[in-house]
Amino acid sequence: MEDNEMNVTSIGLEEGVRKGKHKGKHDKPKPWDDESIDHWKIENFDPSWNEGGLLEATSFSTLFPAYREKYLQEVWPVVKSALKQYGVSCELNLVKGSMTVSTTLKTRDPYIIIKARDLIKLLSRSVSAAQAIKVLDDEMQCDIIKINGFVRHKDRFVKRRQQLLGANSSTLKALEILTNCYILVHGNTVSAMGSFKGLKQVRRVVEDCMMNKMHPLYHVKELMVKRELAKIPEYAHENWDRFLPKFKKKNVQQKKIKSKEKKPYTPFPPPQQPSKIDLQLESGEYFLSDKKKSAKKWEERQEQQSEKAAENKRKREAAFLPPVEPTKLDSSKAEDGNDMTSVVKSLKKKAKELGTQKAVDNIRAEDYITAPAESSKRKKSRQS
């Protein structure tokens, strides 16, 4: 028993030693764990990385509109020579209206076929050949945004697409400068070429504009502020929300839709309307001969013409009727005048009564007592 216990403990120690040896085996400094190396940098492809080539052939094809046929015939030699440098073959089929790119035995870069696919897509969306060939570079990416699915109404779609362009394409030029991307608005798509960061910004601006979330000019202001803040190293690790402008969406008053009053529900269907033949049977017209029917129609037409002629004559004669002259005094005004005169008379009467009452109140007894003495003196003076 003791020997077995000793064997178990020795095996456990050996396992512990083995684990100790292998612990931290991969915790060694790696050559790529250097701060000077930029892990986000896209390096150019070197053909020495894939000397054997590709095992399987890959091809992509896309259709192009009829109005691009003439231009593509002119620039196709340039496109063919550009793709030949990367070992990619291309074909222009004018019968089917398609462009095809495929890998060859000389192709070394496995991702170049995706770039070639983007090239023919851009050419079909009216991008110039000189600009589209730039997508073959490793640092250049592209994004084709479909905008026809955001808006159903055609007029509204055209207005919102015009907002992306702006007056004299000023808004589009500002977006190109701020995002460092090439942008082309054509038909139902927006083609953009640039870095991943710039393409992300362009897609956000386009989608917000087409969904009527935010006008592109507000995005331009926001991008300008971000561009200035990026130049200041102090704000590199801070939140920029306090510096960015905040735009509130104004709700425009829409026309209120008049709701139709619902009729009370009845399980019975509405009564059937009488047909034309039923009406003729009721009036007795159905049994008339064709000659009598035509005579009756002619009489009705003559009545309508006479009514119309009388109405037109009335309208013509109305122009020669003299206008109605306005009366000098209306009955209402005359009544108002009579009321005013009666008020004035009553006021004068009241004033007269007040004057007589004041005269009675101001009578003094002294005037009546002294009056005879004064009169006698006046008589004596006259006699003398």
Is the domain of 109 the same as that of 170?
no
* End position of a domain, from candidates 89, 118, 137: 137
Is the domain of 108 the same as that of 144?
no
Higher local confidence (pLDDT), 57 or 368: 57
* pLDDT of 322: 84
Contacts of 163 (CB under 8 A, 6+ apart): 171, 209, 215, 216
Q: How confident is the model at residue 77 (pLDDT cuts 50, 70, 90)?
A: very high
Q: Which helix (H) or strand (E) holds 143?
A: strand 141-146
Contacts of 176 (CB under 8 A, 6+ apart): 182, 183
**Residue 76 domain flag:** yes
* 100 and 153 Cβ atoms separated by less than 8 Å: no
Range of the domain at 236: 139-249
* pLDDT of 24: 66
Q: Name the token pair of 261.
A: 């009053």
Higher local confidence (pLDDT), 224 or 263: 224
**Residue 371 domain flag:** no
**Residue 237 domain flag:** yes
Is the domain of 143 the same as that of 164?
yes
Is the domain of 153 the same as that of 209?
yes
The dihedral through the CA atoms of 146, 150, 151, 156 has a sign that is negative
**Distance between CA atoms of 377 and 382, rounded to whole angstroms?**
9
* pLDDT of 349: 82
Higher local confidence (pLDDT), 12 or 189: 189
Above 80 in pLDDT, residue 379? no
User: Model-level pTM greater than 0.85?
Assistant: no
* End position of a domain, from candidates 197, 216, 249: 249
How many CA within 13 A on the CB side of residue 247?
Answer: 13
Is the domain of 149 the same as that of 245?
yes
User: Closest by alpha carbon to 112, among 198, 40, 64, 49?
Assistant: 49
Is the domain of 163 the same as that of 120?
no
Is the domain of 131 the same as that of 178?
no
Above 80 in pLDDT, residue 4? no
**Residue 196 domain flag:** yes
Provide the CATH number for the domain around residue 131.
Answer: 3.30.1370.10
Is the domain of 155 the same as that of 191?
yes
**Residue 121 domain flag:** yes
Is the domain of 209 the same as that of 230?
yes
Instruction: Give Cα 109 distance to the centre of its chain.
Output: 44
**Residue 236 domain flag:** yes
- The DSSP string of 227-265 is HHHHT-GGGTTS--TTTS---PPP-PPPPPPPPPPPPPP
In the block, tokens 């004596």 appear at 380
Q: Where are the alpha helices (DSSP H) in the chain?
A: 2-22, 69-84, 112-124, 129-132, 154-165, 170-179, 196-210, 216-230, 276-283, 290-318, 331-361, 365-383
* pLDDT of 2: 45
Q: What does the pLDDT look like over 320-361, one tens digit per residue?
A: 888 887 766 555 545 555 667 787 788 888 887 877 766 655
Q: What does the pLDDT look like over 92-140, one tens digit per residue?
A: 999 999 999 999 999 999 999 999 999 999 999 999 999 999 999 988 9
Higher local confidence (pLDDT), 18 or 148: 148
Instruction: Give Cα 220 distance to the centre of its chain.
Output: 17
Q: Which helix (H) or strand (E) holds 98?
A: strand 98-103
Is the domain of 124 the same as that of 143?
no
Is the domain of 72 the same as that of 168?
no
For a pLDDT cut of 90, what percent of the chain falls above it?
44
Above 60 in pLDDT, residue 17? no
For a pLDDT cut of 70, what percent of the chain falls above it?
82
User: Closest by alpha carbon to 182, among 224, 142, 223?
Assistant: 142
**Distance between CA atoms of 85 and 134, rounded to whole angstroms?**
13
Q: How confident is the model at residue 160 (pLDDT cuts 50, 70, 90)?
A: very high
* pLDDT of 158: 93
* pLDDT of 189: 93
**Residue 329 domain flag:** no
User: Closest by alpha carbon to 205, among 171, 239, 235, 228?
Assistant: 171
Hey, is 18 helix, strand or coil? helix
* pLDDT of 162: 93
Q: Where are the alpha helices (DSSP H) in 242-364?
A: 276-283, 290-318, 331-361
Q: Name the token pair of 130.
A: 């000189």
* pLDDT of 13: 44
How many CA within 13 A on the CB side of residue 172?
Answer: 17
* pLDDT of 198: 93
**Residue 115 domain flag:** yes
Is the domain of 240 the same as that of 143?
yes
Listed as own residue / partner, the contacts of 330-333 with beta carbons closer than 8 Å and 24 or more positions apart are none
Higher local confidence (pLDDT), 371 or 239: 239
Above 50 in pLDDT, residue 14? no
**Distance between CA atoms of 235 and 243, rounded to whole angstroms?**
11
Q: How many residues does the chain have?
A: 384
* End position of a domain, from candidates 120, 137, 154: 137
In the block, tokens 């089917």 appear at 96
Higher local confidence (pLDDT), 235 or 74: 74
Q: What does the pLDDT look like over 213-261, one tens digit per residue?
A: 889 999 999 999 988 888 888 887 888 888 888 877 666 667 777 777 8
* pLDDT of 85: 92
* pLDDT of 5: 45
Q: For the purposes of burial, counting CB atoms within 10 Å of the CB of 182, is it exposed (0-12), middle (13-18) or buried (19 or more)? A: buried
Looking at the 3D structure of the chain, how many domains does it have?
Answer: 2
Higher local confidence (pLDDT), 269 or 248: 269
**Structural Rg of the chain based on CA atoms:** 52
